[in-house]
């Protein structure tokens, strides 16, 4: 057996002195680019972890609202298609910056609750510190106001963004989240701002298209209607979080009046709100002899989802099932936003 001694020369591995001189060392610009890409990738991942739970009540309904308003054909079909894509991108981008700031604020001051109800969020999971989250909140708030101004002007863009950020601060610092009624009310301005900015983009595009018609007076009733819808039904998400809310001393409607009574109160409120949205939609269409088939289809779809959600509220009562029930309610909300867009589009493009 051959023994390697200190005097035994090391084997040649094929690296000659000339090749050693050609080993490529990354330049400073390449190192900077790699670090920048890693930082961007990390921030994108953190943004996803921060907001993905809220896409179904923010990004998706905004997209459906825009598509519902713009899909009606006109003589300039290719142009309308491009306008639809552009307006969808603008409205969804602005809505995402909206929820980015509100979720960041909520999660900075709700760490203890998130450790129980949502431990995978960035702060309780250790992906980011509270100090780092506050720095990101400051930067994103400034970008949100600037972006809102570029998309929708001073009103409802920049001023609406300032109002929403102020309300988010009051909600957390004023302990609104511990009051069942203020907690539900806080969701309404966010939904209204989401609707108002998207509709401002819709009306602006209609004004620039010769096929478009002036906005109907009832089209401005969608804002108050969606505020009532969200305020009276936002507590559906609280059924799944009773354990965590009780642990941190938060009083929600299911805790205040009891789980079973809260469910039975929610069912008629759900159907009343669906009926209210239908009334606003028909009023927006005006005294039309015939209703576009798209409107009728969405109305029946909304009623079917409402019936399914009401059934689940009464029949299935566990945190896991309540999460599924909340998903069903999110579908109802998305359909209402689609309905708003379809009715606005039908009234604006002469389909009635």
Residue range 194-216: average pLDDT? Answer: 56
Residue 204: the pLDDT is 58
Predicted model pTM: 0.75
Residue range 263-275: average pLDDT? Answer: 96
Residue range 37-55: average pLDDT? Answer: 83
Residue range 256-285: average pLDDT? Answer: 92
Dihedral over Cα of 230, 235, 239, 241: its sign: positive
Task: Note whether 343 and 281 are within 8 A (CB).
Answer: yes
For residue 203, pLDDT beyond 80: no
What is the Cα–Cα distance from 71 to 139, expressed in whole angstroms?
36
The overall average pLDDT reported for the chain is 77
Task: Note whether 282 and 275 are within 8 A (CB).
Answer: no
3-state SS assignment for residue 270? helix
Instruction: Show the tokens assigned to 126.
Output: 């250790």
Provide the percentage of residues in the chain whose pLDDT is more than 90. Answer: 21
Strand segments, DSSP code E, in 61-130 are none
Task: Note whether 246 and 322 are within 8 A (CB).
Answer: no
Interhelix angle 222-233/319-348, rounded to 10 degrees, is 170
Cα dihedral 83, 87, 89, 90, rounded to 10, equals 140
Number of neighbours of residue 60 by Cβ within 10 angstroms? 19
């Amino acid at each position: 057996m051959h023994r390697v001694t200190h005097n035994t020369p090391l084997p040649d591995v094929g690296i000659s002195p000339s090749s050693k001189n050609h080993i490529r060392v990354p330049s400073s610009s390449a190192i900077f680019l790699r670090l920048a890409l890693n930082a961007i990738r990390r921030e994108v991942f953190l943004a996803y972890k921060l907001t993905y739970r809220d896409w179904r009540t923010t990004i998706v309904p905004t997209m459906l609202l825009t598509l519902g308003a713009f899909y009606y054909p006109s003589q300039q079909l290719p142009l309308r298609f491009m306008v639809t894509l552009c307006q969808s991108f603008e409205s969804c981008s602005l809505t995402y910056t909206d929820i980015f700031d509100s979720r960041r604020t909520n999660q900075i001051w709700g760490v203890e609750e998130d450790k129980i109800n949502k431990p995978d969020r960035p702060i309780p999971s250790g992906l980011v510190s509270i100090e780092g989250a506050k720095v990101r909140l400051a930067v994103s708030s400034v970008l949100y106001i600037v972006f809102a101004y570029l998309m929708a002007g001073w009103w409802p863009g920049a001023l609406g963004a300032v109002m929403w950020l102020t309300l988010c601060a009051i909600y957390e610092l004023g302990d609104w989240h511990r009051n069942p009624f203020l907690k539900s009310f806080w969701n309404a301005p966010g939904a209204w701002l989401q609707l108002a900015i998207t509709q401002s983009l819709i009306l602006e595009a209609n004004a620039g298209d010769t096929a478009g018609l002036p906005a109907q007076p009832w089209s401005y009733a969608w804002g108050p209607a969606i505020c009532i819808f969200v305020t009276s039904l936002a507590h559906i998400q609280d059924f799944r979080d009773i354990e965590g809310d009780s642990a941190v001393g938060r009083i929600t409607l299911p805790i205040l009046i009891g789980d079973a009574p809260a469910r039975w109160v929610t069912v008629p409120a759900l159907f009343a709100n669906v009926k209210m949205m239908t009334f606003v939609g028909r009023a927006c269409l005006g005294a039309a002899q015939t209703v576009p088939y798209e409107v009728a289809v969405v109305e029946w779809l909304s009623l079917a989802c409402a019936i399914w959600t009401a059934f689940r509220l009464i029949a299935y009562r566990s945190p896991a099932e309540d999460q599924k029930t909340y998903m069903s309610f999110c579908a109802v909300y998305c359909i209402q936003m689609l309905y708003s867009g379809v009715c606005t589009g039908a009234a604006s493009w002469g389909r009635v």
